[in-house]
Chains A and B, each alone.
Chain A
């Protein structure tokens, strides 16, 4: 089986979720080739090999620095053909998922997104995907000879295999007509840990009382190297930016640790966090529904507990 993995770059660095996609492909068995499009750091490209890619293709054309979905999908469909790939694997993302869907149509492949485990190939090719916003799973059979899979975070363990891959330049011919969307500007928090990729998330709700109180939450996040999230009303009221909104209608996270502060635990919020490995809830109301979904809970006032918790984290380092 030949597997092609599309790795996404962000400021020249390979996204961690993309490395998980490489590890996922390695876990499937077969020959793994990774492909990166646009500017990428040479050492970062080389390092992809450690997760099991024997070959790393790099298309450095500067026109690929703009993430045009149509352009990316044409390049990847062609790369699947060139590499004789049976499967394309990539990480779910605002770029990766639509690109994957288009590649599936171009190549006649079966498609699944939100895939949470390695495929079962004992009879056919069956993947497990998350549905009903994390409240259930479906086992779906991908019947076409070619497959395109978009995986969710933690679908594979990020493990070095001890192998080394070779980086080769991949030459692309771009079609002008594919540049059918134009990015005018990008606003992105730099240096922050991205919420969908974070291993620890510290999240605040209406119980934080106002944006002016976020300092104590940010202090805890900093001590834990965590990303920050929030509930929907918090982003609706403009206390925090929209991209931090976690839940059914926001970002779905799957960190090792999710700490919820002053969030009641409405079912729509839980839908975005129920794939977290460990959930800690801090709430002054002992009857808050979130405690039922938590691994650890503290009943108390956030304004009292947060500074103490930050101090305890720093002391334990």
Chain B
């Protein structure tokens, strides 16, 4: 079985978000980048499948050269080889088109349910659409039986058991697998694993980001005494008007 895992390169979840150049560019200073947490779950499940059923795992990232340490980390975790599409990941459609270009021939295409920078949550659906194969998200459990994938998918207020034939695209989330931490041997071998750099397929983007904005700062907290819980109810009614 051939598995493709698509990973995003995103700011660590504790990062302070700021913008520069009159709010047109993300401020990367002091920001640490990681494999997207959801993509990390997808990768972990792929490595488990590799260990139990001898699959091969390729990771793919759409990004410029600064994403290579993130890709090497995925190789250190256990992926066999990697592809970097040398382009800025500007919008979902563009990223999906690049992935679809390289995803043919894989039995299973895994990625996170969404990236934690742009949060569109649709790249899996778009890749499925472009390749004419099923896509399921967010997947919390995935097992392969013959040519079929058996999955548990989260829905609002519950979950569904879903089946589909391979090849298939799945957007993953916990608890599909536990995040894996690379060990020393993995880190050493990752240095020499193949990382192929390819140029993007040109697609005209019909979505253009004009500017960014930070939410309005929150006012100071109003403290209420533990001996006077009733005051909270009154304030929520009359002051905040949310009851």
Binding site for B on A (CB under 8 A): 10, 69-70, 73, 92-95, 97-102, 104-106, 109-114, 126, 128, 130-144, 180-189, 192, 194-197, 200, 224, 236, 242-243, 248-249, 256-257, 267-268, 271, 274, 277-278, 280-281, 291-301, 304-305, 308-309, 312-313, 315-316
Contact = CB atoms under 8 A, between A and B. Distances in A.
Given A133-B119, A180-B133, A188-B157, 4 more contacts: A180-B164, A249-B174, A256-B242, A305-B226
A200 B243 CA distance: 9
A180 B14 contact: no
Contacts of A109: 206
A70 B213 CA distance: 35
B234 interface: yes
A308 B227 CA distance: 9
Q: Chain B contact residues: over half helix, strand or loop, or mixed?
A: mixed
A134 B213 CA distance: 11
Contacts of A10: 156
A189 B154 CA distance: 12
B19 to A, nearest CB: 7
B184 interface: no
Nearest to B11: A132
Interface size class, chain B: 35 or more
A132 B121 CA distance: 12
A312 B162 CA distance: 44
Would you list the 10 A-B pairs with minimal beta carbon distance, nearest first? A300-B226, A188-B158, A101-B122, A98-B125, A180-B134, A184-B161, A110-B206, A257-B242, A101-B125, A256-B242
Given A111-B93, A309-B233, A312-B232, A132 B119 contact: yes
B37 A249 contact: yes
Contacts of B218: 293, 295
B64 interface: no
Residue with the greatest number of chain A CB neighbours at <10 A, chosen from B116, B156, B209, B213: B156
Nearest to A105: B129
B206 A94 contact: no
Given A242-B175, A243-B157, A248-B116, A139 B242 contact: no
Interface string B206-227: 1111111111001101111110
B104 interface: no
B229 A305 contact: yes
B193 interface: no
A280 B162 contact: no
Given A184-B163, A278-B242, A280-B232, A131 B157 contact: no
Contacts of B225: 298
Interface stretch (B49-57, B78-86, B135-143): B135-143
Given A131-B118, A135-B17, A295 B161 contact: no
A197 B19 CA distance: 31
B165 interface: yes
5 contacts: A98-B125, A98-B137, A182-B164, A194-B157, A312-B233
Contacts of A180: 133-134, 164-165
B60 to A, nearest CB: 19
Contacts of B237: 316
Interface string B162-189: 1111000000011100000000000000
Nearest to B229: A308
A291 B206 contact: no
A182 B136 CA distance: 11
Contacts of A128: 213
A136 B214 contact: yes
B93 A104 contact: yes
